[in-house]
Chains A and B, each alone.
Chain A
Amino acid sequence: MEPISCTVLVLGGGPAGYVCAIRAGQLGLDVVLVEARHLGGTCLNIGCIPSKALIHAADQFYLARRFAAGTAPGVRVAEPTFDLPETMAWKDGIVSKLRGGVFGLLRRAKVKVVTGTGVLRDGKTCLVETETGDQMITAEHVVIATGSEPVSLPNLPFGGPVVSSAEALSFDTLPQRLVVVGGGYIGLELGTAFAKLGSAVTVVEATERILPQYDAELTRPVLSRLEKLGVRVLLKAKALGLDSAGTALKVMPDGGEEERISADKILMTVGRRPRLEGYGLAELDLEMNGTAIWIDDQCRTSMRNVWAIGDVTGEPMLEHRAVAQGEMVAEIIAGHKRSFDKVAIPAVCFTDPEIASAGLSPDEARSAGLPIKVGTFPFAANGRAATLGSEDGFVRIVARTDNHVILGIQAVGQGVSELSGSFALALEMGARLEDVAGTIHVHPTLSECLREAAAAALGQPLHA
């Protein structure tokens, strides 16, 4: 095939890559995007979107079961049923619709999409194995956006009943007994959903807490909810491997005796690693930062005009970070002055209840040596939370003592994921407690708790 020559070659069509390609195309650059599988990457195909679809379906079914049990607000239904294949088909429909949307955006931005596995020959050329033959592409700029992949434990390799989150989002039958190894956000989100759908779920976590990156105060409502859902949580427990029949997981609990937990499926959510194999990245011999590609604050790698964005650059492996990086790199290549100068990369955990966080937690701020004051407001004192029947959780705000500049905002509670945008906005704008406390928040909404938390930090709470 005729070699293609372009200005920007984006390797990988996930959120980082496709956003970079679209923005570069919008800015008039000549762009080629190479993707071996589906556009949209992990997030759209086997991550955020399908998992949130499944979580929503599980919540709906769980609610219906509560209606049937007569616990909810006077609504009664007959015994609800759940059809996993139908839910999966609905989920697949959402995914393919969004994927089509990405394709349309790329086309409108005049991005040439080449389907196949791209292998970099050097910092300027890439050989793509396509269905119709080898395609050579030369580019002035190469953007590496190859993403990440789930890792397993050495004694529990993927295969048989041991699956990653990708397979769990495409189960054809509901596992009766599901063991989740790794109590991070991916494991707990899916574990909770399957528990609500009727699986008997056990979570095996090696450290002493679930969601170890959050503080105990934030995770406590999640832990108590897991207990109510009948999820067994083993902390400080070691997954040793499958038993000989392959139907149970051998676990060494903290200080206890080795235990066998019967399982139809074992979901491994112990982490993700940058995907580096098979793209010729070894040839480039880029500087690394641990297992990730080293980048500077403009996503430049150690090689001139070779850029890296998204999960391949390491933690935090979050879609919105990847998108911000992709957009920035496109603009830098187009000659704009940009750098990654975000005050905060907010994060949300779609457990039950949800956790939203932006900026520093009280512990992080204290260990940074900052004098802080903390304001907390519970959803139990919020009218909207009462009418939603979910009074668990709180909003917490961390600010400097001296000038009241907000350093971080966290919340746990039903629906707090939608508050995360205002948390990040307050931090990026450099808001002080008075700014938030002086802003009218609509009644009756959960957002009032943010204002109340700021007022509490100022020592002027109204409703507490």
Chain B
Amino acid sequence: MAERVIKLPDIGEGVAEVEIAELPVSVGEMVREGDVLASVLTDKATVEIPSPTDGRVVWIGFEVGDKAAVGSRLMTLEVAEAAGEAKSDRGKAAPAAAETAIAASAEAQAQQLLAATLAKSPPPVAPSARGEATAAQMTAPPPTPPMVRTTAPSGSARPERPLASPAVRARARDAGVDLRFVKGSGPAGRILHEDIEAYIAGRGETRPAPGLVPNTSIEEIKVVGLRRKIAQRMQDTKRRVPHFSYIEEVDVTDLEALRTDVNANRKPGQPKLTVLPFLMRALVVALRDYPQLNTRYDDDTDVLHRYGGVHIGIAIQTPNGLMVATVRHAEARTIWDCASEVQRLSEAARSGTISREELAGSTITITSLGPLGGLASTPVINAPEVAIIGVNKIAIRPVWRGTSFEPRKVMNLSSSFDHRIIDGWDAAQFIQRLRSLLESPAKIFMET
């Protein structure tokens, strides 16, 4: 048997360090080529590291939650001699060189496999139960010798097992009861049918509590993976970026009328439009006059990158937490195109198949909770951008229209800005421009 070191491959895009999100294998477990050895988390996405070969895991360098540098030793696999053949062939002349060659080729292979899986990185998988079983088995008595004696005399009678008849055991299994937790009232603590029925009747939350009882439990939940990433980024952003928020009311009655009409008469294959694509197009138009808002501020080098294209980040709630997907070059997309792209990215983010590229590179971000949008919010900037536009819910409110109150559809925009770059005056001007576009939506298209 030969040993093969699996190094953490280069994930690309200059990522130097990743977080180990999942280790679905354990020491002693057999893995096959292509099996996932680890899932790692970069700034944006989860990437699975496949095994380049068949083998048995003999060493794991990290634990879940650890930070690991690219190129560091992730695992050691024990592989069949055939796979390590190169070593003995070339090893005589220059063993060290051969070793390196193997490591390099292993890495290259891993790299290839990785490339294949990088496009779609499914959500982290839970460590398999069988992995644990196998690990337990490794510590079990050594395998029986090949030449076995005729037969064993009897099965094992394990006295530490709960004492119960086969019928009681079957009842427990069907009811999902672990008999080790059931107190037996029979002779020698034997568990009787009555005991198990009493246990089932008394179990679970369905039993009405006798009055109000304080719950003193405290559960420790380790913050790992995407949640830890979100926590760090939020903390970092809030600490470094002086935010200010600006909230304005927008009358979207006309926009809603237009939207309803367009949706009712849309062509087959066209997506149903929400407010979001209109807002995206309005942003594109408004940003022409306020380009300082379509920027990324590198505060380490004091350089502001002003972008010609508008890459709109869309905040998406996924089962694992918040993600921001990027609709690239919104200035070159029609309203339908914007809508389709948002839909595609949302589905990819929620199903975990979104790529790292699709989660990076936005220049301004929109956050919307839809019907949950509330009256106002104070969104956190998606640094290094300098502005984020929050969309609140649409409600019908009485609006004074010169002579009378009229019921109008009204929506608030709650936006935050990086005060280091954006002055309040500019921010207010920009939002007023956006408001005027949204209140007379024809202008969004006239000025395109």
Interface set of A (CB-CB < 8 Å, partner B): 151, 182, 184-187, 212-214, 269-273, 285, 287-292, 294, 296, 302, 314-318, 321, 336-339, 341-347, 357-361, 368, 370, 400, 403-405, 407-408, 427-430, 432, 434-435
In the assembled complex, the CB of B114 is this many whole angstroms from the nearest CB of chain A, namely 23
B208 at the interface (CB under 8 A from A): no
Contact of A430 (CB < 8 Å), options: B133, B145, B190: B190
Least CB distance, B154 to chain A, in whole angstroms: 5
Q: Is the CB of B152 within 8 A of A370?
A: no
CB pair B155–A345 under 8 Å, yes or no, is: yes
> What A residues does B145 contact at CB under 8 A?
290
A430 B155 Cβ-Cβ under 8 A: no
Measured CA separation A342–B165 after assembly (Å): 10
Q: Which residues of A contact B164 (CB under 8 A)?
A: 430
Contacts of A182 in B (CB 8 A): 150
Which range holds the interface residue count of chain B?
35 or more
Contacts A321-B155, A361-B153: A273 and B133 contacting too (C-beta < 8 A)? Answer: no
Question: Is A343 within 8 A of B147, CB to CB?
Answer: no
Residues of B within 8 A of A368 (CB): 159
Picked from A346, A359, A360, A405, the residue with its CB within 8 Å of the CB of B163 is: A405
Contact at A347–B190, with CB atoms within 8 Å? no
Of all chain A residues, the one with the shortest Cβ separation from B129 is: A296
Q: A339-B173, A403-B189 are in contact. Are A430 and B143 (CB under 8 A)?
A: no
Closest B residue to A289 by CB, please name it.
B143
Task: Name the B residues within 8 Å of A270 (CB-CB).
Answer: 147
Chain B residue contacts of A292, Cβ below 8 A: 144
- Complex contact A342–B155 (CB within 8 A): yes
**Smallest distance from the beta carbon of A379 to chain B beta carbons, Å?**
20
1/0 contact string of B161-194 vs chain A (CB within 8 Å): 1011110010001101000000000111110000
**Could you say which of B143, B154, B161, B174 contacts A337, with CB atoms under 8 Å apart?**
B174
Flag whether B137 is at the interface (Cβ < 8 A).
yes
Q: State which of A187, A302, A337, A370 has its C-beta within 8 Å of the C-beta of B150.
A: A187
Contact: B148 with A432, CB < 8 Å?
Answer: no
The residue in chain A whose Cβ has the minimal distance to the Cβ of B151 is A316
Q: Is B152 in contact with A316, judged by CB distance below 8 angstroms?
A: yes
In the assembled complex, how far is the CB of residue A301 from the closest CB belonging to chain B, in whole angstroms? 10
Whether the Cβ atoms of B144 and A314 lie closer than 8 Å is yes
Contact status A405-B130, CB under 8 Å: no
CB interface residues, B 122-156, toward A, < 8 Å: 130, 133-134, 137, 143-156
Residues of A within 8 A of B190 (CB): 430
Contacts of A427 in B (CB 8 A): 157
Q: Are B188 and A315 in contact (CB under 8 A)?
A: no
Cβ of A359: which chain B residues have Cβ within 8 Å of it? 154-155, 157
The interface residues of chain A lying within 8 Å CB-to-CB of B148 are 151, 271-273, 291, 314-315
In this complex, the member of B32, B150, B169 whose beta carbon has the largest number of chain A beta carbons within 10 angstroms is B150
B30 in contact (CB, < 8 A): yes
Report A-chain residues with C-beta under 8 Å of the C-beta of B189.
403
CB nearest to B163 among chain A residues: A430
Residue in B closest to A345 when the chains form the complex, CB atoms:
B155
Min Cβ gap A285→B in Å is 7
Is the beta-carbon distance between A432 and B32 smaller than 8 angstroms? no
In the bound complex, CA of A342 to CA of B152 (Å): 15
Could you tell me if B188 and A432 are in contact, using CB atoms closer than 8 angstroms?
A: yes
Judging by beta carbons under 8 Å apart, are A408 and B157 in contact?
yes
Are the CB atoms of A302 and B134 closer together than 8 Å?
yes
Of all chain B residues, the one with the shortest Cβ separation from A188 is B150
Asked if B149 and A347 sit within 8 Å, CB to CB, the answer is: no
Please indicate the chain B residues that have their CB under 8 angstroms from the CB of A428 in the complex: 165-166
Question: Most chain-A CB neighbours within 10 Å: which of B54, B157, B163, B165?
Answer: B157
Q: Are B154 and A317 touching (Cβ within 8 A)?
A: no
B residues within 8 A CB of A370?
159
Chain A residue at minimum C-beta to C-beta distance from B157: A359
A169 CB to nearest chain B CB (Å): 16
B149 touches A337 (CB 8 A): no
The distance in angstroms between the C-alpha atoms of A160 and B343, with both chains bound, is 77
B153–A287 touching, CB < 8 Å = no
A-B contacts, 25 of them at CB < 8 A, read A185-B151, A213-B150, A213-B152, A272-B148, A273-B148, A285-B32, A289-B137, A290-B146, A291-B144, A291-B146, A291-B148, A294-B137, A321-B155, A337-B174, A347-B151, A359-B154, A359-B157, A368-B159, A404-B188, A407-B157, A408-B154, A428-B166, A430-B164, A430-B190, A434-B187
Within 8 A of A (CB), among B318-363: none
CB-CB under 8 A for A360 and B157, given A302-B134, A432-B188: yes
Chain A min CB distance to B159 (Å): 6
CB neighbours (8 Å) of B154 from chain A are 316, 344-347, 357-360, 408
Q: Contact: B155 with A271, CB < 8 Å?
A: no
* Cβ contact within 8 Å between B176 and A337: yes
Further 11 A-B residue pairs, CB within 8 A, beyond A287-B30, A346-B154, A405-B159: A151-B148, A271-B148, A290-B143, A291-B143, A315-B148, A337-B173, A339-B173, A359-B154, A428-B165, A428-B166, A430-B188
CA distance A429 to B184 in the complex (A): 13
Given contacts A291-B144, A407-B159, whether A296 and B151 have CB atoms under 8 Å apart is no
For B188, what are the chain A residues with a Cβ–Cβ distance below 8 Å?
A: 403-405, 430, 432
B133: chain A residues within 8 A (beta carbon): 296
Q: Tell me, in angstroms, the Cα distance from A319 to B383 when the chains sit together.
A: 69
Q: Specify the chain B residue showing the minimal Cβ separation from A369.
A: B159
Closest chain B residue to A359, Cβ basis:
B157
**What residues of chain B lie closer than 8 Å to A271, measured between beta carbons?**
147-150
Q: With A and B bound together, what is the CA distance between A214 and B151 in angstroms?
A: 10
Chain B residue at minimal CB-CB distance from A296: B133
Q: Which residue of B lies closest to A406 (CB)?
A: B157
Select from chain A the residue with minimum beta-carbon distance to B179: A341
Shortest distance in angstroms between B336's beta carbon and chain A's nearest beta carbon?
43
Question: In the bound complex, do residue A185 and residue B150 qualify as a contact, i.e. CB atoms below 8 Å apart?
Answer: yes
Q: How far is the CB of A13 from chain B (nearest CB, A)?
A: 22
Could you say which residues of chain A place their CB within 8 Å of the CB of B143?
A: 288-291
- Cβ–Cβ < 8 Å partners of A337 in chain B: 173-174, 176
Find out whether the CB atom of A287 lies under 8 angstroms from the CB atom of B134: yes
Chain B residues, Cβ within 8 Å of A285: 32, 54
Indicate whether A214 sits within 8 Å of B153 (C-beta atoms), given known contacts A287-B30, A430-B190: yes
